[in-house]
Amino acid sequence: MEKEAIMSSILDSLPYELVFVDTDHIIRYLNTIAREKFGDIVGRSIFDCHLPASNEILKADFDVLANQGKEFLKKVNSSDQRVYMTPVHDADGKLVGYYERFESNMVAVIAHS
């Protein structure tokens, strides 16, 4: 099994939605549960998937992420999910993107207990 297939299998086994976005704000990967919820949005701008007011928040969150360089809790959404934003760096430490992780409270309790 190739490295990319292994990584996809690992990400697809996660019990929560995971959406990877590059530094140009283009969606590059969704795990299985995210594809089931959001549809096939790979290749679209993350800004096309949100309302204009949310886009300003996304831009501000990205700035925080780029400057702080560590995961942070963005919010608890209307579905009572914790939404985390996590930076992804290449082998040289360059920021290549970020992923958003949507954990239900039940998944968060299990994962952190």
The domain made up of 3-111 has a fold known as Beta-Lactamase (3.30.450)
**Domain spans of the chain, in order of start:** 3-111
Task: Please give the Cα distance from 77 to 58 (Å, whole number).
Answer: 14
Q: pLDDT of 47-65, one tens digit each?
A: 998 888 888 888 988 998 8
Higher per-residue pLDDT: 35 or 73 = 35
DSSP string for residues in 64-112: HHHHH-S-EEEEE-TTSEEEEEEEEE-TTS-EEEEEEEEEEHHHHHHHT
pTM, two decimals, is: 0.82
Does the structure show a pLDDT above 60 at 110?
A: no
Task: Please give the Cα distance from 96 to 39 (Å, whole number).
Answer: 23
Calculate Rg over the CA atoms of the chain.
Answer: 14
